[in-house]
Structure 1
Amino acid sequence: MIVQFGSARIELVLGDITTQRVDAIVNAANAMLAGGGGVDGAIHDASGPEVMNELKRRYPDGCPTGSAVGTSAGNLRAKYIFHAVGPIWRGGGNQEKDLLESAYQTCLSLGEKLQCRSLAFPSISTGVYGYPVDLAAETALRTVATRLEATSQLELVKFVLFDQGTFGGYARVLETMLV
């Protein structure tokens, strides 16, 4: 599913984020940037050990929730990995929406600063962090669409979703944005 926003496109893809041909891949990281399972584990496995070594060297104190840091992409096709720390879902009353939006905004800003034309995002916080997919999709897609309408640098933002349920949640939200 591809939708135009300003001069750029949002594309929903069912698949493996590590194989995407984009300038930067976003990793759903933990605050200690220590590696983990899910998307984080897959990205670290595919990128090789030099990315983890770079994280330890450049960001020994980790990264706060709602923010992101950039590294090289190691063995991936991308130039960069943006390690974004999304919030753990605690029922919605602990600034989860604001923190999730901030994580996406920080990645978009990093992309613009590094002159990226294309980014690939996973569904940040919807795995072990328990953020409901429909709510996360709403925040993610609206944040990205608003930014794309205001910039001409980014040409493509992909949401690379690992399973059919997550893809369906994002597709439903994106369809409502077209009305």
Structure 2
Amino acid sequence: MTKIIGVTGGIASGKSTVVAEIRKAGYEVIDADSVVHELQAKGGKLYQALIFAFGTGILNAAGELDRPKLSQLIFSSPENREKSAKLQNKIIRQELATRRDQLAQSQEIFFMDIPLLIELDYVDWFDQIWLVAVDKETQIKRLMARNAYSKAEAELRIAAQMPLEEKKKQATLVLDNNGTLTELVEQVSQALTDLTAQK
């Protein structure tokens, strides 16, 4: 029986580092963000659906999606936001399900990295959910450093996400990333050891 592990965490929580360590250990990881980028590429399923929904005004001169323009349009009204979410989530879910089922045929254990795993109700897809957790102050500092946000912008982005305490209720394992990189890597290594021992 294949084991599928979901990996999630808030913005600037260190999830990419955790995923990199999992890959280094030889496991396959389906990255939801990469899948979305593929689907939004010229000619992709999302690309076509978004043009159908919002018109060709969301394209740049090369005929590719103009992400800042699209983002502005989506966040300009609750109607647009809802329309976009419904449309995109359905197509993304179908694609992720297809890739999950394909990998399940060849892998005993694999991972799926989905930033909004809990919010978009993917919980029942997984045997375990690993949550990368970081306290709010650390998150704000990292987000400001990484994206050159002001403190207010960073706080706004974090406030838009589901609170960490809510996410913890759904997690099988919480990886605490308030310490050093070495400490985080050790936690991931231990978690992978435990996982293979449970087979």
TM-score interval, normalised by the smaller of the two chains = 0.3 to 0.5
TM-score, reference length from structure 1: 0.38
Structure with the higher fraction of residues in helix conformation: 2
Greater Rg over alpha carbons, structure: 2
Give the structure with the larger strand fraction. 1
